[in-house]
Amino acid sequence: MTTHPTISPEDSAIRFKSVHDTVLAEVERVLKGKTGAVRLALACVFGGGHLLIEDVPGTGKTSLAKAIATAVSGSWQRIQFTPDLLPGDITGVSVWDEGQRAFRYRPGPVFANVVLADEINRAGPKTQSALLEVMEEGSVTVDGVGHPVPTPFLVVATQNPIDLEGTYQLPEAQLDRFLMRISLGHPDVDVETALLANRAVAPAPVARPVTTLDEITRMREAVTAVHVAPEIARYIALLAQATRAHQALRLGLSSRGSIALLRAAQAHAIGMGRPFVVPDDVRAVAVPVVAHRLMPTAQAQVRGASPATVLREVLASVPAPAPMVSA
């Protein structure tokens, strides 16, 4: 009988970090000065979630999605959401094949490893729901027949926070489907100066494949194997409970949100080369994972209290477990 060597959690974490840092460096070669945002985006990739970017135009949202897809040797599609976009424009439709005298399914642009849903809040609720259903189920059902999307599958959706005319705000139940919401922001003066100097003499850099889709699948499995001590699980539960009881919130963190926070913390931990989660991992991803799932009260909104502000109060008020040095 043939036996296969067992990889220790420590060796698995080292291997993970090596590939993670290679992908990070390649994406950063295209998207300068956004290390924190790129790390969070990769946590979505390896954590098996989807990413919502809320930012103004021209901050690199498309470049980020395309660079990630190319770096992992995956396919990518961009869907420009508009008020007249229909669900079939995303998922595909059945068309009549005269030669076969039957309907034939024509796949839509959602069939890619990375799908950029640009300005998702410009499309109507029915069209938004069509994409969000694929995000949840991992397949498209047309005429009663299921069509799985490629794996791994990542949706990077964007919305503009300053232009509200002609937009349809994502309901809380749909926001909950995104593992994280982040903002890329503008580069600082030094980074933008270097960007302009380089662009004056050369075209924009293009990402190169640095790993494989099979490796990404293995890395997603490694994330789920990251050790979570009971103290960490309780810490996340206490944070969730604190948001539900907070006077400034009328909607706290759901159990689905708690699980998302756990998975993102696992992805962050192993991305840092550790096979176990520590409180700092939870805190590092808490705002991008949790804030968009919270709903402040009307009084809190009048005072200008944002979900992120309230969440930071919760993080400061809930004691973290003692530092851990091993699993």
| DSSP H or E run through 191 | helix 189-201
Q: Model pTM? A: 0.90
Angle at CA of residue 42, ends 89 and 35, nearest 5°:
120
| Higher pLDDT, residue 160 or 117 | 117
Backbone angles phi, psi at 76, to 5 degrees: -150, 150
Has residue 9 got a pLDDT over 90? no
* Residue 326 resides in a domain: no
Task: Give the structural domain span for 261.
Answer: 226-317
pLDDT in tens, 273-304: 999 999 999 999 999 999 999 999 999 888 88
* pLDDT score of 218: 94
Buried b vs exposed e over 219-235: b needs ≥16 C-beta within 10 Å? Answer: bbebbeebbbeeebeeb
How large a percentage of the chain has pLDDT more than 90? 63
Report the CATH number that the domain containing residue 109 is assigned in CATH.
Answer: 3.40.50.300
Tokens at residue 233, please? 């699980």
Has residue 327 got a pLDDT over 50? no
| Mean pLDDT of all residues belonging to the chain | 90
Structure confidence at residue 1 as a pLDDT band (50, 70, 90): very low
Residues 47, 85, single domain; the answer is yes
171 three-class SS: coil
Residues 198, 283, single domain; the answer is no
Q: What distance in Å separates the CA atoms of residue 185 and residue 60, rounded to the nearest whole number?
A: 9
Residues 127, 264, single domain; the answer is no
Report the CATH number that the domain containing residue 278 is assigned in CATH.
Answer: 1.10.8.80
